[in-house]
A and B are shown apart, each in its own frame.
Chain A
Amino acid sequence: MSYKEKIAKRAAQEVLPGQIINLGIGIPTLIPDYLTAETPVWVHSENGILGMGLRCRRGAEDRNLIDAGGSYVSLQPGAAFFDSGLSFALVRGGRLDVAFLGALEISRAGDLANWIIPGKYSPGIGGGMELAQKARRVIVTTTHTTRSGEPKILNHCTLPLTAKSCVNIIITELAVIEVTAEGLLLLEIAAGIDVKQVLAKTGASLIVPKGELPVF
């Protein structure tokens, strides 16, 4: 299993039956592969779908049926289509239970930066800002560090924010970390990883509970 699949598999456990969820581009799109029949969910897509199914098997693509990242998708029974205005009414109006998002940086207070690196990367805002600010629960699925090995989890974000104090849980290939009022709480650790390794790759102080940590 790749590190991306590992993160997606763990993230899938955060989903409760019947929830309305939105999957950001990248790792989150792998999450449905790990949802079982015991966890029926409604997957929302920004381009106007509720009840999206798995990505299409080859040959079954419909030119009029894509997710917000451009992948061809299937539908679940009970799915609905709507316009982009209604799609974000669902988000801003508080009907979205969970948004799974990627990150460039996450702060100790749960601030999220994921849309711009000034001067280097500015593809636009997309739906991320509304998802981060308005989903009832925001789960960040990301690699623990950048490609060059710098920590993504910091005391304070250095990049422009997507939304302030919005992240609830961070799931990486190394650990599961909860954003609490007291600070970042280490909840779980990946198999074969020890706490020292997590601390070394985290740029913020972590609260490490006493005793054995659950392994994922």
Chain B
Amino acid sequence: MDTVKTDRELEIDKTCSIKNIRSGFKDGMTVMVGGFGVPGTPFTLIDALLATGATDLTLIKNEANEDHMGLSKLIEAGHAKKIITSHLGLNATVTGIMNRGEIEVEFYPQGILAEKIRAGGAGLFGFLTDIGIDTILREKKQTVTIDGREMIAEPALHADVALIHAALADRSGNLVYEKSARNFNPLMATAADTVIAEVERVVETGSLDPDQIHTPGAFVDHVVEIKELTKEYGVLAHHVI
């Protein structure tokens, strides 16, 4: 006998508690983490990943946050075997770990890193670029010559899980980012098998203006509302002039 679903049951609700997502974290996973500095870094999800003890992780993030914050905690705890990143200059601890050979580091020009993620999310296998063609970056890269012009063939990036921070979500997983906290988040939200977004506030589906949505809910699997914006999310005193 068919059961008739109520309007409420037909509605998609992707919100869940932090406990529910923990089982998705496994050893050896590749994890994309949004954020550029503090803005857009999903500190709560990073702490949840850290707490599971999942190890041998490959992390993909613009930078490793600053010492003892965010991504840095996973690396300092020895949970990461590799980081794919753009710049670690603001983190002496992780730079030290790298220099001692305790983590494998793969550096890319920042926009190339972004584009590799974008390509992965768009179902592409890579792209061609001349960035770094006259530098040591060209070593070990496959190049392609088209119309006499040599270009680096840059493969796309894809992850098992993406950890995203957004200001606002509705229950369907539509996301809105705030100011410079957008950065890598919308790209990474397209480029992983499982996309988990922590958000500062959840609103009912239908209450967001469709024109203002940055990441459509189709890309987002789980939404976790942050109970409290901890100190890590705040203004960093040493960057205040």
Measuring CB to CB, which residues of chain A are less than 8 angstroms from any residue of chain B?
Answer: 45-49, 55-56, 58, 61-66, 68, 70-72, 81-85, 87-89, 91-92, 122-130, 133-134, 160-164
Contacts and interface: CB of A to CB of B under 8 A. Distances in A.
A129 B131 contact: yes
Nearest to A62: B179
26 contacts: A47-B36, A48-B180, A55-B241, A56-B240, A58-B240, A61-B235, A63-B38, A63-B234, A64-B39, A66-B39, A70-B236, A71-B239, A83-B185, A84-B36, A84-B62, A84-B113, A84-B184, A87-B111, A92-B129, A124-B63, A125-B86, A125-B87, A125-B107, A130-B110, A130-B111, A130-B112
A165 B112 CA distance: 21
B222 interface: no
Given A83-B184, A85-B115, A125 B239 contact: no
B194 interface: no
A70 B239 contact: yes
Nearest to A124: B87
Contacts of B108: 125
A20 B179 CA distance: 19
A166 to B, nearest CB: 9
Given A47-B183, A66-B38, A85 B118 contact: yes
Contact of B131 (A61, A81, A133): A133
Q: Is the interface of A mostly helix, strand, loop or mixed?
A: loop
Contacts of A64: 39-40, 167, 178-181
Contacts of A45: 180
B110 A127 contact: yes
A164 to B, nearest CB: 4
Determine which residue in B183, B184, B233 has the highest number of CB atoms from chain A within 10 A of its CB, and name it: B183
B16 to A, nearest CB: 25
B114 interface: yes
A126 B87 contact: yes
B187 interface: yes
A72 B239 contact: yes
A89 B131 CA distance: 12
B240 A85 contact: no
B39 A81 contact: no
